[in-house]
Amino acid sequence: MTPKTSPETSPKTSGYALVTGASSGIGAAIAREYANRGVPLILTARRIERLESLAIELGTKVDVVVLAADLADPGAPAALHAEIVARGLHVAHLVNNAGYGVPGRYLSSDWRTHAEFLQVMVAAVCELTHRFLPAMEAAGHGRIVNVASLAGLVPASAGHTLYGAAKSFLIRFSESLALEVAERGVHVCALCPGFTYTEFHDVNGMRERVSKLPKLLWLDADQVARIGLDAVERGRTRCITGGANRFIAVLSKYLPDGLARALVASRSKEFRDAD
């Protein structure tokens, strides 16, 4: 989709928000929140039809560019960056949101499945950040939100073996990078949602199981988006959404390791499929 221009938001001069995995869930909610704040958008995901539908919805508020990309392809981050540069667009906000889970035991999936997961969840995040960060530093302003998870802050559970590990990496990566770039006007934040009402649990077959969890653990995607964007603007390097989730993170930090692991092991079947 060709971006709509206006005197207030020319794509040549305005900073865009690039949101990966923008076709649904938290990614779509973050795109809507940016549009509400008047920030023009570059939306990317695999499902072009959904992106175009979202672009029509948000195009009445801000300029919207849609670029289909499958970040499981190792060449996708470079191609995406090249296309954005070729269009003369400046990315001032990068939201690394694309992600999913691989259910079951580690050996229940072949290596290609795990390799593609790591490409999307870790390698693509690092490469996109590496490619777009220089222009942010040159402009003296930038925002990077890496959508991690409460799962990266609590003891690991059986099933979805690489998910918590990947999210933990994103948190540490964000914290380290934030220290490096703060003096250059760039804020980096690891957004750590807990259970969020999205399609995520439908896709991985866990909807019925996680729906039995207490409602106080849940937030909707719009709440997560608002909290996350406010946090990065305030310069916070880690943002856990929801009071219950913050309590869980603190509890897991101060409980003895053996006890924390035992508690997670006893309840893991409620939110992770290890079969």
Q: Active-site residue numbers?
A: 163
Yes or no: say if 92 and 141 are a contact pair by the CB < 8 Å rule: yes
SS3 state at 95: strand
Residue 219, H or E segment: strand 218-220
Number of other CB atoms surrounding residue 267 within 10 Å: 12
Q: Rounded to an integer, what distance in angstroms lies between the CA atom of residue 27 and that of residue 20?
A: 7
Q: Rounded to an integer, what distance in angstroms lies between the CA atom of residue 225 and that of residue 201?
A: 18
CB crowding 163-200: b at 16 or more within 10 Å, else e: bbebbbbbbebbeebbeebeeeebbbbbbbbbbbebeb
Tell me which DSSP letter residue 71 carries: T
Enumerate the β-bridge partners of residue 186. 142
Yes or no: say if 80 and 67 are a contact pair by the CB < 8 Å rule: yes
